[in-house]
Amino acid sequence: MTREQIRIVDYQPQFAPYFRFINEAWISAYFKMEAADYKALDNPQSYILDKGGYIIFALAGNTPVGTCALIKMDDLHYDYELAKMGVIPTYHGKGIGKMLGEATIAKAKLTGAKNIYLESNRILKPAINLYKKLGFVEITGRQSPYARSDIQMELVL
């Protein structure tokens, strides 16, 4: 599967199980699922989309192999949180994460967003490197709902 064979598409209701499966797989491989994870993964329509957020998918053929969300933030500084980015392990190293990140950032720009926030963990070195390549820089001082979060980053658009 080449990068050219991957399509980036918006959320469709039939993709909800993939949103959960892709994210639960990577979270469970490194950490444990937390309350904030269940809120987003069990209810993507009400928790993310109905509140002004977006979810996109990378498709190989018609099968979702990666996903990423923009969660609308009720915050004075940040418009969205880039969250729940994951790619099925057999598709790692093919540039799909970068495609998802670029498409998510483009979507935020289209809405007029000025700042995107994210949280991660330093053991996820490929993800941190990707975020840096996308232009995110490390920040400090924000409260996190995730016990696993040990790095916070922002992207000024």
Q: What is the pLDDT of residue 54?
A: 98
pTM of the entire structure? Answer: 0.93
Q: What is the pLDDT of residue 76?
A: 92
Q: Give the separation between CA 66 and CA 94, rounded to whole angstroms.
A: 11
Count of beta carbons in the 10 Å neighbourhood of residue 18: 20
Q: What is the pLDDT of residue 141?
A: 83
Residue owning tokens 């540039």: 95
Across 11-122, the runs of DSSP E, i.e. the strands, are 54-60, 63-72, 80-87, 115-120
Q: What is the pLDDT of residue 144?
A: 83
Domains in the chain, please, with CATH?
Answer: 3-156 (3.40.630.30)
Beta bridge partners of 156: 115
* 38 Cβ neighbours under 8 A, 6+ residues apart: none
157 residues of the chain, pLDDT tens digit each? 566 689 999 999 999 999 999 999 999 999 999 988 998 999 999 999 999 999 999 999 999 999 999 999 999 999 999 999 999 999 999 999 999 999 999 999 999 999 999 999 999 999 999 999 999 999 998 888 888 899 999 999 9
99, two tokens: 């495609």
Query: 14: exposed, middle or buried (C-beta count within 10 Å: 0-12, 13-18, 19+)?
Result: exposed
